[in-house]
Amino acid sequence: MTFVYQRTVQQAFREVSDALVGYRKSQQVKIQQQQLTDAAADATKLSNMRYRGGASSYLEVLDSETRFFAAQLALAQAELRELQSLVQIYRSLGGGWQQ
């Protein structure tokens, strides 16, 4: 009986540790994606200014807006993964999760 208990406790610690590592990694990915989104927003502003100044075509504006939109979508997905990993921490800590 003691062996089963020890194995169960070790498994619980492993699950919590894995969940914490997953949460930290998802936070890092979200931060990097936020930086990418900010850079895409700056590029969009710059391409709009260049278009208004006559230095570039509207195709450049559309391309930068498409990249900015894709970055925003990826940021939303990264935020979702971060929240899912937070739920995994709660679940691994035994936070009243019912199956």
> What are the boundaries of each domain within the chain?
32-92
What pLDDT, on the 0 to 100 scale, is given for residue 52? Answer: 96
Contacts 24+ apart (CB under 8 A), 53-57: none
Structure tokens given for 5: 């208990």
Report DSSP state, residue 93: T
> What is the average pLDDT across 76-80?
98
Ranking 9-18, 55-64, 79-88 by mean pLDDT, the lowest is: 9-18
What pLDDT, on the 0 to 100 scale, is given for residue 66? Answer: 98
What pLDDT, on the 0 to 100 scale, is given for residue 41? Answer: 98
